[in-house]
Amino acid sequence: MSEVFAARRARLRDRCVAAGSAAALISRPANVRYLAGGAPPGAVLLLGPAGDTDDVLLCPSAPTGDPVEGRMDELLRQIVLPTDGGDPAVAAARSADTDGADSLAVEENHLTVARHRALATVTPHLRLADLGGAVEQQRMVKDEDEIACLRIAAEITDQALGELLESILVGRTERHLALELERRLVDHGADGPAFPTSVATGPHAGRGGHRPSDRRVEEGDFLSVCLGANYRGYRCEIGRTFVIGTTPADWQIELYELVFAAQRAGREALVPGAGYRDVDRAARHVLDAAGYGEGLAPSTGHGVGLEIDEDPQLAPAAMGKLDACVPVTVEPGVHLPGRGGVRIDDTLVVRQEADGGPELLTITTKELLAL
């Protein structure tokens, strides 16, 4: 694996050098993990000017004792700072300054103002430049190993959800169902949930990111769940809505079919070269035309990977076009205050049409199940 991480760092280094900085300091944990294979808590990565032999991972003395990730780049030099050695970012900047770099690119969208000032104070000879979202952009297109991790994460997620559907739901609280789903994710091999599991019943159903409450599942409810596994750091997401009990009401069937049509339209728009905003519009338009334009979420989906919500954003004002091998969610929903609603969410990988079109990772049925 080491060559994968070294190649990623080389690509970033080229970009930094082209922008005028021979050295770069990476502090955002997902970016550190992407470039080093692992991110011990608080660790920062310093990319030096001379190529791979200059790169170093600076770890705070680890009172937490977290084991370093299994897929870590073993060839990368690691320095563990002494106990109470202070901020590793400051130590890294000092080292770059000593090594005679004249410009250090830092992540201004991650470093706090206070931390940035601390760096500037210890590096009188160094110009601090902004790395911007360079690593986030590099992370957007995934390689097949990354997609394999996402595929396993999705399999685990489908399994956990499938088991829940076989159990008795009426009378149980949102909070307990969410905990049970998270336990099942781990049972099936997840490192943990990819994000806090959401279970929403009755009037809560269909709200994105609903935090589970003590409300119990009742006959006639819509039930929406949103969960995902974290597998080797890679996070996927699935959202489904069900009806509880006998026969769905007419309004439930109509609303479900509408959201399903919107979600399908979004999925079908996932082709390399499509604008982010075009995918959003494809799904949004269906809901808008049915009179639900107000109150929709600001985006219809987003990238996933080492973070559960990363670039690209599928939103009305988003600039940019999809590439092949970009995994995204498509997750439109409608929530009617006081009544509940529907949300359907899949994780897919954008693929060329010749390769079969978008690859659906989360394969749990999207029929309206009455449980």
Query: Which residues make up the interface to a copy of itself (CB under 8 A)?
Result: 41, 61, 63-67, 83-84, 108-117, 130, 175-176, 179, 182-183, 186, 207-211, 213, 295-299, 315-317, 335
Shortest distance in whole angstroms from residue 196 CB to a copy of itself: 8
Based on CB atoms, which residue is closest to a copy of itself, 300 or 347? 300
> CA–CA separation, 120 vs 209, rounded Å?
39
Tell me the closest approach of the beta carbon of residue 66 to a copy of itself, in angstroms: 5
Residue closer to a copy of itself (CB basis): 48 or 206: 206
Give the span between the Cα atoms of 273 and 101, in whole angstroms: 39
Q: In 3D, which of 201, 154, 156 has the Cα closest to residue 175? A: 201
User: Which residue, 112 or 246, is less far from a copy of itself as judged by CB?
Assistant: 112
**Residue 31 backbone dihedrals phi, psi, to 5 degrees:** -70, -40
For the CB of residue 356, give the shortest distance to a copy of itself in the complex, in Å. Answer: 31
Residue nearer to a copy of itself on the CB measure, 186 or 369 = 186
Please report, for residues 251, 312, 314, 342, the alpha-carbon distance to residue 320 in angstroms, rounded to integers and kept in the order given.
37, 8, 10, 29
Q: Position of tokens 């709200």?
A: 207
Considering the complex, state which of residue 211 and residue 272 has its C-beta at the smaller distance from a copy of itself. Answer: 211
Rounded-to-integer distance, Cα 301 and Cα 280, Å: 7
Distance of closest approach, residue 181 Cβ to a copy of itself, in angstroms? 11
Between residues 94 and 188, which has the closer beta carbon with respect to a copy of itself?
188
**Cβ at position 7, least distance to a copy of itself in Å:** 28
CA 300 to chain centre: 14
329 beta partners: 347
Q: Which is nearer to a copy of itself, 81 or 286 (CB)?
A: 81
Considering the complex, what minimum distance in angstroms separates the CB of residue 106 from a copy of itself?
A: 8
Task: Choose among 161, 185, 178: nearest CA to 239.
Answer: 161
- β-bridge partners, 281: none
Q: At closest approach, how far in Å is the CB of 309 from a copy of itself?
A: 11
- Residue 202's CB is within 10 A of a number of other CB atoms, namely 18
The residue among 43, 34, 40 whose CA lies nearest residue 1 is: 34
What pairing do the DSSP bridges indicate for beta strands 310-314 and 301-303?
A: antiparallel
In the complex, least distance from residue 337 CB atom to a copy of itself, rounded to whole angstroms: 10
Give the H or E element holding residue 93: helix 88-98
Please, what is the minimum distance in Å from the beta carbon of residue 128 to a copy of itself? 9
Q: In this complex, which beta carbon is closest to a copy of itself, that of residue 83 or of residue 246?
A: 83
Choose between 11 and 188: whose C-beta lies nearer to a copy of itself: 188
Q: For residue 261, what are its two tokens?
A: 């049509």
List the one residue out of 226, 218, 179 whose CA is nearest residue 199.
226
Sheet holding 222-227, edge to edge: 198-201, 222-227, 238-243
Question: Shortest Cβ distance from residue 230 to a copy of itself (Å)?
Answer: 12
Of the candidates 248, 306, 363, the residue with the CA atom closest to the CA atom of residue 38: 306
What one-letter code names the amino acid at 63?
Answer: P
Of 301 and 327, CB closest to a copy of itself = 301
